[in-house]
């Protein structure tokens, strides 16, 4: 018998486990044994590790709701047998997966930590070793009462732990690839790992709930000065698109273009749902602050406040997939479900 915390690693792919294909020179995914061989330190950690792998592992550009469901189901099925979960994942779409999982796995009392790396684990300057080892330590970490310190979906990258549905990938080449401007870090790793316990999410219920019905009939429209509403008119087709996220300027502003306004009000009138988030990295939508956003309030566009694009898309897919009533979807879009908005 051992008292070591027991963790399940779910290896989905990403740069961390990639190797150079000698024929093409491209980075391709490789199996988990390769990672294990590169990090013999894993043997020395005071944790017991088991692994499930995607076959084949994927570049995270291939991620989609089917894979999200697979990951969420794996966590759910193994939940009782492990103290925490580490998901190895490509960094490109890690924030989308973390956001989706935060809605799919609600009322967690154990950590689900996503990590990966910018350089493959087999390369000398890799960031993968530190990311993997510290993510494991965080997933295994418990307080004096024996409760997991982190009880939510989080992303660990380059010495920082972020709430999964609050972070975004901000750099294609820096090791510090993620940030969470609208929510403080959940932990920082230096000589010790310092947890920001007050900011960690704790749900009232401790009974894990799994939601796997996601509706991907959603659209994302990033407006820009001079955009032609006509170009986007097919997007506002309620038969095809059930929810639209508009990325607007600043505190939620858009041009007062008649054609665009007509598209929006007709779409809502026909049963569509529109969520307004800002293109800015930090700060929040405040509909009605300027004349250029007061129209949104009038026609029933919902303010996504300070949600990231990744969280907004995941939340829209989750609500459209799990709720039948449009009123309920609108109501829940406007409030925080699992810490995704302030
Ligand atoms: N293309 C890779 C992926 O997201 C990049 C990475 O892992 O950092 O799978």
Whole-number pLDDT of residue 250: 97
| Overall average pLDDT of the 65-82 stretch | 98
Under the banding of pLDDT at 50, 70 and 90, the label for residue 2 is low
Q: Would you state the structure tokens that stand for residue 243, as one six-digit string?
A: 């929810």
Instruction: Say if residue 104 is in the same domain as residue 78.
Output: yes
Residue nearest to ligand 1 atom 1, measured at CA: 59
Cα dihedral 22/28/29/30 (nearest 10): 0
**How many residues does the structure list for the chain?**
342
Domain span at 278: 218-333
Mean pLDDT, the chain, whole residue set: 95
For the segment 76-104, what is each residue's pLDDT rounded down to a tens digit? 999 999 999 999 999 999 999 999 999 99
Residue from 11, 15, 30 whose mutation best tests the ligand 1 pocket (most atoms within 8 A of CB): 15
CB atoms within 10 A of CB 117: 26
What's the pLDDT tens digit per position in 157-202? 999 999 999 999 999 999 999 999 999 999 999 999 999 999 999 9
pTM: 0.96
| 314-319 average pLDDT score | 98
pLDDT for the residue 245: 98
Q: Which pLDDT score, from 0 to 100, does residue 21 have?
A: 86
Indicate whether 158 and 235 sit together in one domain: no
pLDDT-derived band of residue 30, with 50, 70 and 90 as boundaries? confident
Atom of ligand 1 nearest to the CA of 13: 9
**pLDDT for res 288:** 86
Does residue 160 share a domain with residue 229?
A: no
Residue 126 contacts residue 109 (beta carbons within 8 Å): no
Q: In terms of C-beta distances under 8 Å and separation of at least 24 residues, what long-range contacts does 326-334 make, across chains too?
A: 326/271, 326/273, 329/243, 329/273, 330/273, 330/300, 330/302, 333/273, 333/275, 333/302, 333/304, 334/302, 334/303
Do 68 and 200 sit in the same domain of this protein? Answer: yes
Task: Examine residue 147 and state whether it is found in any structural domain, yes or no.
Answer: yes
Among the ranges given (8-12, 35-39, 279-283), the one the predictor scored with the smallest mean pLDDT: 35-39
Q: Which of 92, 155, 176 to mutate to test the pocket of ligand 1 (most atoms within 8 A of CB)?
A: 92
Answer yes or no: do 176 and 233 share one domain: no
Same domain, 188 and 48: yes
- Of 164, 191, 210, the residue at which a domain comes to its end is 210
145 and 67, same domain (yes or no): yes
% of the chain surpassing 70 pLDDT: 99
Q: Span 105-131, mean pLDDT?
A: 96
Measured CA to CA, the distance from residue 106 to residue 103 in angstroms comes to 6
Q: Is residue 313 domain-shared with residue 173, that is, in the same domain?
A: no
Q: What domain count does the chain have?
A: 2
CA of 92 from ligand 1 middle (Å) equals: 5
Cα angle 272, 278, 284; round to 5: 110
Helix (H, G, I), strand (E, B) or coil at 310: helix
Residue 342 in domain: no
**298-325: average pLDDT:** 97
Q: For residue 185, what is the domain's CATH number?
A: 3.40.50.1170
Contacts 24+ apart (CB under 8 A), 285-291: 285/248, 285/251, 285/252, 286/251, 286/252, 287/252, 289/251, 289/252, 290/250, 290/251, 290/253, 291/256
* Domain end among 210, 239, 258: 210
What is the spatial distance between Cα 53 and Cα 178, in angstroms, rounded to a whole number?
24
340 within a domain of the structure (yes/no): no
- How far is Cα 313 from Cα 176, in angstroms, rounded to an integer? 24
Q: Of the candidates 160, 176, 210, which is a domain's last residue?
A: 210
Q: Please report which helix (H) or strand (E) contains residue 294, including its range.
A: helix 291-299
Average pLDDT on 214-227 reads 97
Average of per-residue pLDDT across 254-282: 97
Judge whether 242 lies within some domain. yes
Any residues with Cβ below 6 Å from ligand 1, and which?
A: 13-15, 59-61, 90-92, 116, 118
Spatial distance between the Cα atoms of 166 and 315, rounded to a whole number of angstroms: 12
204 and 267 co-located in one domain: no
Structure confidence at residue 1 as a pLDDT band (50, 70, 90)? low
CA distance 336 to 342: 7
Average pLDDT over residues 17-39: 87
What is the distance in A from the centroid of ligand 1 to the CA of 34?
A: 17
Verify whether residue 15 is a known catalytic residue: yes
341 is a domain residue: no
CATH of the domain at 240: 3.40.50.40
Distance 242 CA to ligand 1 centre (A): 30
Q: Pick the catalytic residue from 12, 15, 97, 115.
A: 15
The answer on pLDDT for 3 being more than 90 is no
Mean pLDDT of 310-325: 98
Our mutation pick for probing the ligand 1 site, out of 11, 12, 13, 14, counting the most ligand atoms within 8 A of Cβ, is 14
């Amino acid at each position: 018998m051992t008292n070591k915390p027991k963790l399940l690693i779910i290896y989905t792919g990403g740069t961390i486990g990639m190797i150079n294909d000698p024929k093409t020179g491209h980075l391709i995914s490789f199996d988990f044994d390769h990672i294990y061989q590169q990090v013999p330190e894993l043997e020395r950690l005071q944790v017991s590790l088991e692994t499930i792998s995607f076959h084949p592992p994927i570049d995270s550009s291939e991620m989609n709701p089917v894979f999200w469901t697979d990951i969420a189901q794996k966590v759910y099925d193994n939940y009782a047998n492990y103290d925490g979960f580490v998901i190895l994942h490509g960094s490109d779409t890690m924030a989308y997966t973390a956001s989706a999982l935060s809605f799919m796995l609600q009322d967690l009392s154990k950590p689900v930590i996503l990590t990966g790396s910018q350089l493959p684990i087999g390369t000398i300057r890799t960031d993968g070793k530190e990311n993997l080892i510290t993510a494991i330590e965080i997933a295994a970490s418990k307080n004096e009462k024996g409760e997991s310190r982190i009880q939510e979906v989080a992303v660990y990258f380059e010495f920082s732990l972020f709430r999964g549905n609050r972070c975004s990938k901000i750099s294609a080449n820096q090791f510090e690839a993620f940030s969470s401007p609208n929510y403080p870090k959940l932990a920082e790793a230096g000589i010790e790992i310092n947890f920001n316990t007050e900011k960690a999410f704790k749900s009232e219920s401790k009974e894990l709930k799994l939601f796997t019905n996601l509706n991907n009939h959603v659209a994302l429209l990033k407006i820009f000065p001079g955009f032609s509403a006509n170009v986007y008119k097919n997007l506002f087709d309620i038969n095809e698109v059930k929810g639209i996220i508009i990325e607007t300027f600043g505190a939620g502003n858009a041009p007062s273009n008649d054609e665009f306004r007509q598209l929006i009000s007709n779409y809502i009138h026909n049963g569509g749902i529109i969520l307004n988030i800002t293109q800015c990295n930090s700060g929040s939508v405040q509909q009605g602050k300027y004349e250029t956003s007061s129209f949104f309030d009038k026609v029933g566009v919902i303010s996504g406040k300070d949600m990231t694009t990744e969280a907004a898309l995941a939340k829209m897919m989750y609500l459209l997939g799990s709720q039948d009533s449009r009123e309920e979807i609108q109501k829940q879009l406007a409030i925080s479900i699992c810490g995704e908005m302030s």
